[in-house]
Amino acid sequence: MRTELSFTPLPEIETELLAVLAVDTQTEKGPDAKPAPELLTTDAAVKSAAAAVLASGEYKAGANETLLLHAPAGLKAKRLLIVGLGKLTKATAHSVRNAAGTAVRFTKPRAIRELFFALPEAQSLPPASCARAAAEGAFVGDYDPDTYRSDRKDLSVHSFTVAAPPKADKAALQSGFNEGVIIGESQNFTRVLVNEPGNKLTPTEFGKRAAAMAKEVGLQCEVHSTAKIQELKMGAFWSVSQGSEEPPALIVMRYEPAGVKDGPVLGLVGKGITFDTGGISIKPADNMEKMKYDMAGGAAMAGAMRAIALLKPRVRVISIICASENMPDGKAQKPGDVQTAMSLSAERPGKTIEIINTDAEGRLVLADGLTYARQLGATHLIDAATLTGACVVALGMVNGGAFSNDDETFTKFNAALETSGEKFWRLPLGEEYAELIKSDIGDIKNTGGRHGGAITAAEFLKVFAEDTPWIHLDIAGMAWMEENRPYIAKGPSGTAVRSILEWVRSYSA
């Protein structure tokens, strides 16, 4: 999609479709209170073109509510699309992101290939932040998951232009807009990976695509397989891989900004299970096809690393993605087996893990990934994984789960959400939960029972983070959209990319 920032006055823009934003300015409450829609533009011609329909009461400016006007009087645009942000008091740059996605998705099936999107003019909506959000939303809205349909038609928007007020700060808006393009493309890079079927995106193919992306944006990248995993004595990672004909991939990406020799080293660790049958503890057949998305945490790390490479924060970053299949063949691990995880050093024995359920495999690959990130020098850790159904039960498909062993580190992440617009809710950790994963035969068990399952999974990972400041993101309920929304298609969401990026940027020197 071609993207551009324009400062041409709205009435002079010649385009197939011009989108403008509206809010409900009604502040009264009660049964008699009626919506009071108002356009977020100071342009008199645009206001005049929409005045009659706004006065009619048929349009309420609800969040992502759309209204299309043909041949709007006084404008060179052939169509005027009004997109609602909801109540003015609640409208944010994140509302603008969704509105841009809504405008693009409204446009796609109508064979309209170019779209101008007018930035809102309101004191509560900073122009640069809105320019960034609009670009992000446009890319998110343009993506559809129908990759392998034989009758797939080109419904993409070929040209998306953000129309800014002519007197706006052009440098600030251009900077924000450019960031939004990078972030939107990176989120879609993640979504493309997550959408791939397990027979197309094997662990080896995952490694190839990560390496190709790294080469394109200037990251260092190494992709290892069985020999390296066994050399490092990654017993937890290998235990998951051993049941598959497909070899595993240990993907290591490094971002080293010029002139930065000290300060923190951030470790980004992702679960990359390219297909999860559950192993010997096999899953039910219903909906198992969705288990191609079990590498969404690893894909999020790949997308975040792409954005990091292009936005160039002044902080060193290492990313570890542990990619594998979890299959139930004759070599697969069994419930009751004991595996030995990677050790941080030769002087220390690796933790022994009693396998209670082979479907609790994500925490096993992450255990060795976290340890390896620390061995490579990471001083702060963040991991992401579609880890537990228990997190979906706890938080639904509204918030991702977040855990941390360090309040200062989590405070930075929580602040990053203000920019990313993604929703995560911090859940507790504690000794009472840690007791549930103690093993009689080894050090720890890979499950702690049904109750508090998301928390005991996090407690398992905490064992391998040790005293390194660490955040765990359980994105099981957020990585896949179960239905179409006005601003995003059903399918992979690319969640966590923006939040991980902003957390990394908070450490920039």
Q: Which residues are catalytic?
A: 283, 363
Rounded CA-CA distance 451/454 in Å is 9
Instruction: Specify which residues 24 forms β-bridges with.
Output: 37, 87
Considering only the C-alpha atoms of the chain, give the largest distance between any 2 of them, rounded to a whole number of Å: 79
Q: How many other CB atoms are found less than 10 A from the CB of residue 328? A: 18
Phi, psi of 329 (to 5 degrees): -90, -170
Mapping DSSP to helix (H, G, I), strand (E, B) and coil, where does residue 194 land? helix
Classified as helix, coil or strand, 229 is: helix
Considering Cα of 105, then 107, then 112, then 113, what sign does the dihedral take?
A: negative
Helix axis angle for 497-505 and 170-195, nearest 10°, is 130
What residues are paired with 323 via a beta bridge? 249, 272
CA distance 213 to 399: 29
Runs of H (alpha helix) within 39-169: 44-56, 93-107, 127-142
**How far is Cα 321 from Cα 213, in angstroms, rounded to an integer?**
14
**In contact, 120 and 42? CB cutoff 8 Å:** no
- Amino acid of residue 255: Y
The number of beta carbons lying within 10 Å of the beta carbon of residue 239 is 26
Q: 317 near 504, Cβ under 8 Å? A: yes
CB atoms within 10 A of CB 335: 15
Q: Which residues contact 74 (CB under 8 A, 6 or more apart)?
A: 11, 45, 48, 49
DSSP state letter for 258: T
Instruction: Report which residue type is found at 499.
Output: S
Tokens 């080109």 correspond to: 154
Per-residue burial over 167-186, b = 16 or more CB atoms within 10 Å of its CB, e = otherwise: ebeeeebbebbbbbbbbbbb
SS3 category, 312: coil
